Amino acid sequence: MPRDTKGFKGNKQSLPAKPCVACGRDMVWRKSWAKNWAEVKYCSDACRKAKNA
C-alpha cells in the first residue's frame, strides 16, 4: 500500500491558482513565478504573445 499519501492529499490544492487572461485556463503557482506571481497574467509565452499581438 502507498505510504506517502499521508499528508500529501490536497497538497496541490494548497497552491494558489488563477486563470490565464488569454486562454482562461487555470494556472497553478509555479516556483519560477514566486517572485512575480501577482504580475503573472499568462500561462505561457504563447498566450502573452497572442494577447499582445
Residue with smaller CB distance to Zn ion, 2 or 24: 24
**Placement of cell 514566486 in the chain:** 34
Beta carbons of 43 and 35 less than 8 angstroms apart? no
Residue with smaller CB distance to Zn ion, 1 or 15: 15
Least Å distance, CB 14 to Zn ion, is 22
Measured distance CA(31)–CA(35) in Å, rounded: 8
Least Å distance, CB 51 to Zn ion, is 9
| Residues lying near Zn ion in the complex (CB under 5 A) | 20, 22-23, 43, 47
